Amino acid sequence: MDNWIKAGKIASKARTYGYSLIKEGVIIREVLDKIEAFIEKEGGKAAFPAQISINQIAAHYTSLPSDILTFQKGDICKLDLGVSIEGAIADTAITKEIGNKNQKLVEASKIALEEALKLIKPGVALNTIGKKINEVITSYGFNPIKNLSGHELGEYQVHTGISIPNYNDGNKTLLKENQIIAIEPFATTGEGFVKEGKPSTIYRLINTKPIRSPSSRKIQKYLEEEFKTLPFCIRQLTKKFSQPQVSLAIRELEKAGNIYQYPQLPEKSNGLVSQHEHTVIVKDKPIITTL
């Protein structure tokens, strides 16, 4: 378990560091780059591209290499990051509003997470956790996002095994000793569902069928060795390869069906969204690795 705990400690520090960088007028891409550089400096690797999804976007926003978009006053910024130590993963998220107009929304997901964590131990049913999350978020006057959930973590796998709902979905599967899970309540002013939105430029290698150009084959090999089954993004690749090489490789990899691109996930009714997340090792006295 040592690597899982180490990954959590680095993720916690990276989350705090990233939170401090989110300010009005700052370029979003620069914050994401700094977070990933911080993770590497601390001895970890990004388990997936650092993401900051704003306002109605619940998840899966990361910047392109040339983006100059900046944080604006009133933005509700969901910072979601992961750390890998030899495939042992920590996944954590926090929300920062630039201003104080929607602090109740931010607090709703934060307190829902805190209350859910109190329930974690072997033998607890998944829907019991979801029921508590739903109770807390609705007590603030908001809705949980029902088609996003927490999840189990595995070696080099961010999402695997069980899902931990954000409402009572009736799933009575019981938590087991030493399972590693991420709990992530999402609270929204909207209906409580996300839909598939614009492309995110976040990908995952799902196949290694042969492709034509030598430079694209080189990038595919790099993806296999560097990321394995973990997500990556164009912004990360352009730190190693030229933009034309990356563009060609992405086209060829997509045509061959070797990569999957995650969509951005906006709230269906354009409701504002907040999110908080911790990674936990399930025990009678659970270990919250990202605390």
CATH of the domain at 43: 3.90.230.10
* 167 and 209 inside one domain: no
| Active-site choice (36, 97, 252, 277) | 277
Looking at residue 61, its pLDDT comes to 98
CATH of the domain at 234: 1.10.10.10
Please name which of 115, 106, 212 lies closest in space to residue 166, comparing C-alpha atoms. Answer: 115
Q: Return d(Cα 236, Cα 231) in angstroms, integer.
A: 11
> Strands (DSSP E) along the chain, which ranges?
45-54, 57-59, 76-85, 88-97, 143-144, 150-154, 157-164, 180-183, 186-188, 199-205, 232-233, 259-263, 265-266, 273-275, 278-281, 287-288
User: Is residue 42 among the annotated active site residues?
Assistant: no
One DSSP character per residue, 78-131 reads: EEEEEEEETTEEEEEEEEEESSSTTHHHHHHHHHHHHHHHTT-STT-BHHHHHH
Q: Which residues pair with 157 in a beta bridge?
A: 154
* 88 and 170 inside one domain: yes
User: Is residue 91 among the annotated active site residues?
Assistant: yes
* 151 and 244 inside one domain: no
Torsion of CA 53, 57, 59, 61, to 10 degrees: -50
Residues in CB range of 100: below 8 A, 6 or more apart: none
Low-confidence ranges of the chain (pLDDT < 50): none
* 48 and 67 inside one domain: yes
Looking at residue 135, its pLDDT comes to 98
* 229 and 136 inside one domain: no
Position of tokens 């006295």? 285
* 78 and 163 inside one domain: yes
| Active-site choice (107, 135, 159, 169) | 159
* 219 and 87 inside one domain: no
User: Is residue 67 among the annotated active site residues?
Assistant: no
232-233 and 287-288 as β-strands: parallel, antiparallel, unpaired? unpaired
Under a CB-based contact definition with an 8 Å cutoff, are residues 192 and 149 in contact?
A: no
The SS3 assignment for 71 reads coil
* 254 and 273 inside one domain: no
What domain range includes position 119? 2-196+268-288
The verdict on pTM exceeding 0.85 is yes
* 75 and 151 inside one domain: yes
User: Is residue 184 among the annotated active site residues?
Assistant: yes
Please name which of 60, 56, 65 lies closest in space to residue 27, comparing C-alpha atoms. Answer: 65
Looking at residue 50, its pLDDT comes to 98
Please name which of 275, 272, 265, 269 lies closest in space to residue 74, comparing C-alpha atoms. Answer: 272
Looking at residue 56, its pLDDT comes to 98
| Active-site choice (184, 267, 276, 278) | 184
| Active-site choice (36, 75, 91, 267) | 91
* 25 and 100 inside one domain: yes
| Active-site choice (36, 60, 75, 80) | 80
Q: What is the pLDDT of residues 159-212, one digit of tens each?
A: 999 999 999 999 999 999 999 999 999 999 999 999 999 999 999 999 999 999
* 26 and 142 inside one domain: yes
| Active-site choice (36, 60, 151, 278) | 151
Integer-rounded Cα radius of gyration of the chain = 19
Mean pLDDT over the full length of the chain: 98
* 64 and 119 inside one domain: yes
| Tally of domains within the chain | 2
Distances (CA, A) of 235 to 58, 104, 110, 218: 20, 33, 30, 17
User: Is residue 276 among the annotated active site residues?
Assistant: no
User: Is residue 277 among the annotated active site residues?
Assistant: yes
